[in-house]
Structure 1
Amino acid sequence: MQGDFSRTTFDPRKHYSAVLAQQGRVQLDADFNEQGALLLHQLRTMVADVLGPAVAPAAGGGFAIGTVDGRKPQEDLTISAGRMYVDGILVENDLEATYWTQPDLRPRIGHSADELPQDEPFVLYLRVWERLITAVQDPAVREVALGIPGPDTAARVKTVWQVAAVAVTARTTEEALREFPARLAAFRPTGRMRARAKQPPAADDCRYHLPVDSRFRGPENQLYRIEVHTGGPAWSTGSTGCPTDTGTADTGTVAADTAATRRGATFKWSRENASVVFPVVSLSGATVRVSTLGRDGKLGLEVGDRVELVDDTIAGRVADDLVLTDPPRPAPRLRRVLAVDAVDLLVTLDEQDGDEGCGLGAHPFLRRWDHRPAPGTASAGTLAAVPADGALPLVEGGWLDLEDGVQVRFEPEGEARPGTYRRGDHWLVPARTAVGDVLWPQRADGPAPVEPAGVRYHYAPLAHVVGQTVDPSPRRTFPPLAG
């Protein structure tokens, strides 16, 4: 989540049960957040073990699917109010809704990603994930006693639910429930990432020699966020340099001379975990009026910065990229800052917004990203090619420079070639000046390949639709506990 955190430390594989504060010690945000994560992990695991992975209570249960009077199931469906538990997560629908009016996902009629399948059976399912909410999205989070406008304090985590459909070939519900997990498995990303700052000594037979300052050279501690912007297979790449199994640096370059290579997944990065945001007051063409330009220069905007124009609708559509297509479906374009008027709080972007639909009332804001791609041909170890979405080409097979000695390397899981990546998935890389390195899992041959930290989606089948027949039996229920 894109918060102003020092790092995230919860790891279920360590089997910790509590965080214990000690007297006279420094208190860290990571400790408090890990305690909350431990409690949630224990509670949700217990609920899932007792009730099952996806279940609604018989009394007060929600998310029952029904038909709309006078309309076909392929046109619209009702979603009942109530509760459901998905992988132990409490999911609540406060008011009865329909597919086209569900609160956390406002589908667009005529949009191919939203339309219900028309000519084939489909499974309607519940998709659940969590989203960070700050005072930008919910002003009530801010304590006005601290000033108007005062500083923000703690953030919140919101459980987001979305009812979506996936086409299946099965015409019986039993077969459809067997096919449904396989369909979701096809969405699973196979890409992994390594990170480092300190590098091993160069081998004698390597053409590239490491500088003596091959370490993290930043002036202060950072939490880097490397996030997939456009999902899909990795970009094609030419690779030169030393083989990775020697422990020495190799170089990934982007071939920008043919159209065939200018495609694939892209990524963006932030040294502040993408927590630098600027609430939008108004939007006129390519000119954005913001309510603040940041607390200081470090957390402000400069000409040449890359920003993402986001609102509640766009944030809720991260899961649209579940389908890993080739070529990938592009994400909303990152914009370049052309001018900043600090007096009138105006930011001029490089082109007018397209159909992303950022409007007042939907909590719009600009999110700053810190990569600075420059036009031209990629050189060894650099990220110079500029995809159409304004992000960086996600290239496998080479170490890629971010800044101040921090490098990342993307690679596929196992023998898969190339790896696939899902929009919104990310990795967090804490960089520390005390050790001149990043905090990253290690193994004998160097930094370990790590799967993305999220977004973590949870699924529950709700109904199977064949023609005009809606079978709600995939939605499981449990009776109230006796006594």
Structure 2
Amino acid sequence: MQGDFSRTTFDPRKHYSAVLAQQGRVQLDADFNEQGAVLLHQLRTMVADVLGPAVAPAAGGGFAIGAVDGRRPQEDLTISAGRMYVDGILVENDAEATYWTQPDLRLRIGHSADELPQNEPFVLYLRVWERLITALQDPAIREVALGAPGPDTAARAKTVWQVAAVAVTARTTEEALKEFPARLAAFRPTGRMRARARQPVAPADCQYHLPVDSRFRGPENQLYRIEVHSGGPAWPTDPTGCPTPTGPTPTGPTPTGTAVAAHSGAARRGATFKWSRENASVVFPVVSLNGSTARVTTLGRDGKLGLEVGDRVELVDDTIAGRVADDRVLTGPPERAPRLRRVLAVDAVDLLVTLDDQDGDEDCGLGANPFLRRWDHRPAPGTTTAVPDDGALPLVEGGWLDLEDGVQVWFETAGETTPGTYRRGDHWLVPARTAVGDVLWPQRADGPAPVEPDGVRYHYAPLAHVVGQGVDPSPRRTFPPLGG
């Protein structure tokens, strides 16, 4: 979640049952947040153990799938109001909806990617995850007694649900439910990441050289967020394993280089990523958008949290927030994410931010709670373009890629799959600390360990099997009142 956190510390493998405050000690946001995570983990694990991984109450249960009068199942389906538990997470639908009118996913009529499968059986399923909500999205979070508009205090975690469909070959529900897990597995990314700031001696057979001060050189502690912007397979590399630079071809297998310099001027051919030193928490609410000029309510508290010419920003709108986490990006060619815009001018008097042109991107317009989210990557020195056409950086595997101040990341794939696949919206959090001159990252004997993304954590539940004109709702499980 893109909050202004120091770091996240909850790890279920440590089996902590509580966070215990001590007198006279410094209070940290990470400790309070870990206590909440410990309790949620215990509660959700118990619910899943008692009720099962995906179940709705027989009385008051929701997410029952039905036909829409006068329409084929391939055109639309109803979603009943009520509750359901997915991996122990309470999911609530406040009012009956349909596939096309569900509240947490804006679908586009006429776009084939959003339509239900037309000529083959499919399983309709529930996809659940959590997203961050701040006072920007919900002004009621602010305490007006602290002043108008009031300071930004604690944020909230919101459970988000979407009903989606995946095509299957099975024409019986029993066989479809056996096929369903394998279909979901095809969506899951295989990419992993390592991070470091302190570096070993550079390999002699690679043209890249380490800086003299091979440690974290930032002036203050940071929580870096490395996030997949456009999903799909990793960016191509040359046969040596080095990211292809704009100059002479390197000869070493694991060089240090900049991601941007890897493919300057080329069209995007793989997954891309973006990064923020503030966990992507630097945002600017948009009041109006006139062409490429956005009027914002603030330009930040100070220069560190403000906007400068050349910054990359993402125009975010709550009405399309769900699409960022759509796992269909791994089906077929990589889905092209909306292009990150570059700041051309900042008018501090009238609070106007001029962005570069869309270059043919779909203009989402302004919906609920639009804002600009700042990302901190910049083109490498000597390059004239920020290469991939989505404004992000090429996600290259098998080489250390520079971020800033000595912080580097390395992408790789799990198992034998080459190249790895990456899902749009997945991210890693990298705490960097000045006291140790390094990042806080799991280690193993050969150095930084490869880890899966910290999020987004998705949870799934099958709801119905559709074949032709038939809708079988039996995949949605129910439970009677306990003790009844």
Structure 2 length-normalised TM: 0.94
Q: Distance in 2 between matches of 1:276 and 1:207?
A: 36
- The yes-or-no answer on 1:342 pairing with 2:348 is yes
Give the CA deviation at 1:147.
Answer: 1.1
Task: Tell me if the contact between 1:232 and 1:420 (Cα under 8 Å) persists in the aligned partners.
Answer: yes
1:430 partner letter:
P
Q: Distance in 2 between matches of 1:365 and 1:99?
A: 27
Task: Tell me if the contact between 2:105 and 2:320 (Cα under 8 Å) persists in the aligned partners.
Answer: no
Cα 1:145/1:241, change in 2 over 3 Å:
farther
Unpaired runs of at least 5, structure 1: 379-383
> Aligned runs of 1:8-407 on 2, under 5 Å?
8-202=8-202, 208-238=208-238, 239=242, 240=250, 242-244=252-254, 250-251=256-257, 256=263, 262-325=268-331, 327-352=333-358, 354-360=361-367, 362-373=368-379, 386-407=387-408
Comparing 289-298 with 100-109, greater Cα deviation is found at: 100-109
Q: Note the alpha carbon deviations across 1:207-251, whole angstroms, 9 max, x for none.
A: 55433311000000000000000000000013145455xxxx545
Aligned to 1:457: 458
Q: Distance in 2 between matches of 1:208 and 1:303?
A: 30
- What's the secondary structure of 2:330's corresponding residue? coil
Q: Distance in 1 between matches of 2:206 and 2:362?
A: 49
Give the CA deviation at 1:375.
Answer: 8.8
Q: Note the alpha carbon deviations across 1:400-433, whole angstroms, 9 max, x for none.
A: 0000000111111122110100000000000000
Give the CA deviation at 1:94.
Answer: 0.6
1:256 partner letter:
H
Cα 1:283/1:262, change in 2 over 3 Å:
closer
Q: Note the alpha carbon deviations across 1:348-386, whole angstroms, 9 max, x for none.
A: 0001484242414x11000000001259669xxxxx751
CA RMSD, 1 decimal = 1.9
- What's the secondary structure of 2:153's corresponding residue? coil
Q: Distance in 1 between matches of 2:440 and 2:471?
A: 51
- What's the secondary structure of 2:13's corresponding residue? helix
Unpaired runs of at least 5, structure 2: 243-249
Q: Note the alpha carbon deviations across 1:281-338, whole angstroms, 9 max, x for none.
A: 1111101011111101100000000000001122111232434145311001100000
Task: Tell me if the contact between 2:187 and 2:331 (Cα under 8 Å) persists in the aligned partners.
Answer: no
- What's the secondary structure of 1:302's corresponding residue? coil
Q: Distance in 1 between matches of 2:409 and 2:475?
A: 42
Task: Tell me if the contact between 1:62 and 1:83 (Cα under 8 Å) persists in the aligned partners.
Answer: yes
Cα 1:114/1:204, change in 2 over 3 Å:
closer
Comparing 407-416 with 417-426, greater Cα deviation is found at: 407-416
Q: Distance in 2 between matches of 1:231 and 1:124?
A: 23
Task: Tell me if the contact between 1:127 and 1:162 (Cα under 8 Å) persists in the aligned partners.
Answer: yes
2:364 partner letter:
G
Aligned to 2:7: 7
- What's the secondary structure of 1:316's corresponding residue? helix
Q: Distance in 2 between matches of 1:269 and 1:208?
A: 22
Task: Count residues with an aligned counterpart.
Answer: 472
1:197 partner letter:
A
Task: Tell me if the contact between 1:237 and 1:252 (Cα under 8 Å) persists in the aligned partners.
Answer: no
Task: Tell me if the contact between 2:329 and 2:424 (Cα under 8 Å) persists in the aligned partners.
Answer: no
Q: Note the alpha carbon deviations across 1:18-72, whole angstroms, 9 max, x for none.
A: 1000111000000000000010011001100110000000000000001111111
Comparing 201-210 with 133-142, greater Cα deviation is found at: 201-210
Cα 1:268/1:97, change in 2 over 3 Å:
same
Q: Distance in 1 between matches of 2:121 and 2:467?
A: 5
Runs of 4+, deviation exceeding 2 Å: 201-212, 240-244, 249-259, 319-323, 352-356, 374-378
Task: Tell me if the contact between 1:263 and 1:327 (Cα under 8 Å) persists in the aligned partners.
Answer: no
Percent identity, aligned pairs only, is 87
Q: Distance in 2 between matches of 1:147 and 1:446?
A: 49
Q: Distance in 1 between matches of 2:208 and 2:371?
A: 43
Task: Tell me if the contact between 1:233 and 1:265 (Cα under 8 Å) persists in the aligned partners.
Answer: yes
Task: Tell me if the contact between 2:106 and 2:320 (Cα under 8 Å) persists in the aligned partners.
Answer: no
Q: Distance in 1 between matches of 2:111 and 2:181?
A: 25
